Chain A
Amino acid sequence: MKDFQSWGRYFNYRHEIRRMGWRFSAPAMLADLPASFLPVGLGRSYGDSCLNDGGILLDMTPLNHFLAFDRENGLLRCEAGVSLEEILKIIVPHGWFLSVTPGTKFVTVGGAIANDVHGKNHGHAGTFGMHVTRFELLRSDGTRLLCSPTENADWFRATIGGLGLTGVILWAEFKLKKIESPFIDEEIIKFRNLDEFFEIARESEAGYEHTVSWIDCFAHGDSLGKGVFLRGNNTAAPTTYSYQPPKPQRLAVPFTAPNFALNNYTMRAFNVLYYEKNLRKIVRGTVHYEPFFYPLDAIGQWNRIYGNRGFMQYQCIVPYDDGFRAIRAIIHKIATSGLTPFLNVLKTFGDKKSPGMLSFPRKGVTLAIDFPNQGQATLDLLTEIDRMVLDSGGIAGYPAKDSRMSAEFFKAFFPQWEAFMEFIDPKISSSFWRRVTGNSE
């Protein structure tokens, strides 16, 4: 048994780690695995959707070969353990980019499909799964299913956002996005409060593919929801295709910070720092895609700054309502909780609908917040927010992020969970699924 922690470093579970072999030998390998096992990618999920306490984790990263790249039409086929980082190295020099990318490039294709991840361009491009044309799913009984929107379509829908539970994805094929240059024309705009945020979000909808905001969760009263809005488009003017960002940064957090480093003061300083860096009202620039899409990737293992107790990320989506009352109330609740959130992202989602059965994104405004683990107080606050989100008609408990939602709330947010059950492979299980279905033997 070896330690394997997910990104939030909140769970200390024990696993037996097995490594996936070659693609063609996978059926024999799965047949030999005892129950229960769970395929895992790079462990960039924050909570326990990539954990299987007391069971086997099947490391999928050795499946890291490419199968085909149609450079004219932007169609890529690769094994499920290939990381987005590797993909970018290969496609960017040929003028292609990922149609959808999460905020880190250190995730695998299998992980991106299994959580049906989203990025800064949700309004324009939807989720990762919406660009997948087909994949091969291997069940533990040796059945191999070629899945596409037309072939084994029910398995296609169940596996996109299927949390690794429907079987092992061996390879996938997906459409890329044409780019003229690896740079992004970026605009950074300060906003003083939530109303200004929604104003900028609305006027940015049509003209800007990529949008995201960082908000200061300590601000309340008149400046509740103040922050900075980032928006951008891929630079149209052709420049040289270079994978390498202009100045590669090499920083790392080499040790686990002591818990006391995370007092109110350092957190607030970090937030203010991020905020005050942008002095003018609108700052325009052209930046490489690397700092634009992956600002945190420059700092290796940044999750260690939260100390040994780890942290939890909370993400919810709240539908639009009159005066943005629900999201305002939630931010107010957090701002006045005395707990110390860090890295708060606010963003609007469009109405693009993913085929994924359990897929999380939907139209509304989404808030994602990192909470250092402060024990029961943190848990209590998050349960209160669950209640507010549920009352607003929204959704919380994104499986890529969640570490603590109760089965009661999960079932309310994901009523399709029961229909999904019939697609679960009998030999596959995860700590997340046992927890949110109230089945943690």
Chain B
Amino acid sequence: MKKTTLIAGAISALAAALAFIAKSKQKPAASEAVRAARYRQPRRVLIAGATSAIAQEAAKEFAADGDKLFLIARNAEKLQVVADDLRVRGAAQVETAVLDLTDTDRHAATLDQAAEALDGLDIALIAHGTLSDQAACQQSYALTEQEMRTNFLSVVSLVTLLANRFEAERRGTIAVISSVAGDRGRKSNYVYGAAKAGVTAFLSGVRGRLADAGVTVITIKPGMVDTPMTAHLEKGALFASAESVGQGVYRAIITGREVVYLPRFWWVIMTVIRHVPEFIFKKLNF
């Protein structure tokens, strides 16, 4: 058997075992203990990409805590459905803005609008993204650039504005959904992976810059999640539900964990994957 096949086999066996262990001891939603840690005042939470399946699940947790939400999404009909839902689920206030987030020129004004509507901001969750069509991107720089705008540059713009705002206030939390795909470029998915790697590196730098200012910067790296983004993929044992990942996002924000793999077992898998020597990695088929 070829060495690469062996390594790929070993990685997938390890992944399957870890997924199994994780599934057999899934944590209950947001535990009472975590909820008890909530602020007295409602949190003022901005969510970019609020119609994302993962973001909706995280938002439900904030709503259940009675927090105030400002939701940004590009599709007005979806946004309306999500906003109504979160109101019923207990959010103290829900405001919305329709915006294609690649339109970075409008970011500053929209953030001001959010801060005004909620009377300040405590938390910003950035969740929007697209799973790039790798084959199509390989044939088109224009498409690749578009993907970079969506998954990387729009995040850079938002985080730059938020970082400056929170730095001045010497408080606040910025949480961004990156991906395990950003941990190492794979031939099957490197455009998306490169954008997410950029996000991860950017956040790591901002975290350092804002450490003294008391601002928390959170990088969330989900593995494979069953959401509309992955609707076209065959669902194996490694897929987590949007619900469990969304609750993990909420927990990470509440507890201030800075780098989080969701589910946690992805940390082990990615540690192994990052350490496979390049001469072998380049031959792996994934």
Contact = CB atoms under 8 A, between A and B. Distances in A.
Contacts of A66: 84-85, 88-89
Interface in B3-53: 28, 32
Nearest to B81: A65
A24 interface: yes
Contact of B77 (A19, A22, A244, A248): A22
B88 A68 contact: yes
B274 interface: no
B77 A90 contact: no
Contact of A90 (B32, B84, B89): B89
A67 B85 CA distance: 6
Interface range on chain A: under 10, 10 to 19, 20 to 34, or 35 or more? 10 to 19
B84 A65 contact: yes
A69 interface: yes
A23 interface: yes
Interface string B79-90: 001101100111
Contacts of B81: 22-24, 65
A68 B89 contact: no
Interface string A13-38: 00000010011100000000000000
B50 to A, nearest CB: 13
B88 A24 contact: no
Interface in A63-93: 65-69, 76, 78, 89-90
A76 B84 CA distance: 12
Contacts of A23: 81
A265 to B, nearest CB: 31
B89 A22 contact: no
Interface in B77-121: 77-78, 81-82, 84-85, 88-90
Contacts of A76: 88
Contacts of B84: 65-68
Contacts of A244: 32
Nearest to B82: A65
A65 B231 CA distance: 19
Contacts of B28: 248
Secondary structure class of chain B's binding surface, majority of residues:
helix
Contact of B88 (A19, A22, A67, A248): A67
A89 B29 CA distance: 13
Interface string B153-172: 00000000000000000000
A394 B12 CA distance: 58
A71 B4 CA distance: 61
Contacts of A68: 84, 88
B136 to A, nearest CB: 23
Nearest to A23: B81
Contacts of B90: 90
A3 to B, nearest CB: 14
Interface residues of B, number: 13
B231 A19 contact: yes
A162 to B, nearest CB: 25
B93 to A, nearest CB: 15
Contacts of A24: 77, 81
Contacts of B85: 65-67
A18 B34 CA distance: 36
Contacts of B64: 89
Nearest to A64: B85
Contacts of B89: 66, 90
Nearest to A250: B28
A364 to B, nearest CB: 38
A90 B88 contact: yes
B114 to A, nearest CB: 22
Nearest to B231: A19
Interface string B57-71: 000000010000000
B86 to A, nearest CB: 9
A22 B77 CA distance: 9
A417 to B, nearest CB: 37
Contacts of A65: 81-82, 84-85
B219 to A, nearest CB: 28
A67 B231 CA distance: 25
Nearest to A69: B88
Contacts of A19: 231
A66 B90 CA distance: 11
B77 to A, nearest CB: 5
Interface string A230-249: 00000000000000100010
Contacts of A69: 88
B155 to A, nearest CB: 25
A299 to B, nearest CB: 17
B137 to A, nearest CB: 26
A56 to B, nearest CB: 16
Nearest to B53: A62
A249 to B, nearest CB: 12
A83 to B, nearest CB: 12
Contacts of B78: 22
A244 B35 CA distance: 13
A69 B63 CA distance: 14
Nearest to B51: A22
A119 to B, nearest CB: 23
A361 B90 CA distance: 36
A51 B285 CA distance: 39
Interface in B227-274: 231
A342 to B, nearest CB: 28
Interface in A247-296: 248
A89 B89 CA distance: 9
B40 to A, nearest CB: 18
A248 B77 CA distance: 38
A51 to B, nearest CB: 21
A22 B32 CA distance: 32
A89 B61 CA distance: 12
10 nearest A-B residue pairs (beta carbon): A66-B88, A65-B85, A69-B88, A24-B77, A66-B85, A65-B81, A67-B84, A22-B78, A90-B89, A23-B81
14 contacts: A19-B231, A22-B77, A22-B81, A24-B77, A24-B81, A65-B84, A66-B84, A66-B89, A67-B85, A68-B84, A78-B88, A90-B90, A244-B32, A248-B28
Given A65-B81, A69-B88, 11 more contacts: A19-B231, A22-B81, A24-B81, A65-B84, A65-B85, A67-B85, A68-B88, A76-B88, A89-B64, A90-B89, A248-B28
